[in-house]
Amino acid sequence: MKTSILSYIVTLVAFTGIDFIWLSKMGNTVYRPVLGDMALPDFRPIPGVAFYLIYAAGVVAFAVQPALAAGQWKVALFNGALFGFCAYATYDLTNQATLKNWSTFLSLVDMSWGCVLTAVSASLAFLIVSFFTRSV
């Protein structure tokens, strides 16, 4: 139980922190020019926080826990990349299919980002949790 809670907290902090840096640097450069007036001027905290809380649980379930069970960081990296790609592809390709401003470029950038971000977050969580659970 302690390992699951620690996995969740570490994943949530890593994923949210890295994504915050990405969005603060790339939001106005990549997303806003494509979305135009579809983009809100400010972040809506409740759905945003809900996304991070739910997504971190998915990363733990599909990438971090299997990696801890296998004892291999490569499992976290691969499963994280796969989970991130599938989740972000669901969002991006649905948007591209239904929103007139959504571009292929934006889908490709965002799907790549989701893949990398989730793989890195899952791997960091695996390494940190492994370190602390071995040390205890």
Asked if 124 contacts 14 with a C-beta cutoff of 8 angstroms, the reply is yes
The pLDDT score that the predictor gives to residue 38 is 86
The pLDDT score that the predictor gives to residue 43 is 83
Asked if 65 contacts 4 with a C-beta cutoff of 8 angstroms, the reply is yes
The pLDDT score that the predictor gives to residue 8 is 98
Number of domains in the chain: 1
Asked if 71 contacts 63 with a C-beta cutoff of 8 angstroms, the reply is no
- Please report, for residues 80, 86, 122, 123, 126, the alpha-carbon distance to residue 61 in angstroms, rounded to integers and kept in the order given: 10, 15, 10, 13, 12
The pLDDT score that the predictor gives to residue 22 is 96
The CA distance from 17 to 73, in Å, is: 20
Per-residue pLDDT of the chain (136 residues; tens, 9 = 90+): 899 999 999 999 999 999 999 999 998 899 999 888 888 888 899 999 999 999 999 999 999 999 999 999 999 999 999 999 999 999 999 999 999 999 999 999 999 999 999 999 999 999 999 999 986 5
Instruction: State which residues form the domain around 120.
Output: 2-135
